Amino acid sequence: MSERAKLVKQLNKKGIFIPKGAKVADLRHRAEHWLSRNGWLVRLAKPASRKPNSPVSLITSKDTVWIPDSRMAKEIIETKLVFVLGRTPVAPEGVEVIDVPKDFNDKWPLNHFGEEE
């Protein structure tokens, strides 16, 4: 079984949408970062500048954005700087999509906030 077929099978098992013509690198990225099919619709409640070393800084608009279900989404929601408007498997038309950056694990490794143990 090819790598592409394995990734498609893995994503289908999670119910994650696969865009038409997706490259293997894109599929690998989704398989690595996306946890489930239901992304998060959020909107900034307070300025993202309050947590400059957090992935919430990726949200630059005051409009609603869609974020895939991922560690990034959970970290953004935990900042309490966003309103959670709901969950949906596909971003509604006209809503900005903020995908997990390719260098996410480098910029924000686990326990990067210096939480108390």
Contact in structure between 43 and 62 (CB atoms under 8 Å): yes
Task: Indicate the range of 31-45, 71-85, 98-112 predicted with least confidence.
Answer: 98-112
Q: Are residues 22 and 72 in the same domain?
A: no
Q: Are residues 12 and 28 in the same domain?
A: yes
- What is the distance, to the nearest Å, from the Cα of residue 51 to the centroid of all Cα atoms in its chain? 17
Q: Are residues 21 and 58 in the same domain?
A: no
The model's pTM is: 0.86
Q: Are residues 22 and 42 in the same domain?
A: no
Provide the percentage of residues in the chain whose pLDDT is more than 70.
Answer: 94
Assess if residue 108 is contained within a domain.
no
pLDDT at 29 over 50: yes
Domain of residue 65, residue span: 35-100
Give the number of residues written for the chain: 117
116 pLDDT band, cuts 50/70/90, is very low
Q: Per-residue pLDDT averaged across 20-39, rounded? A: 93
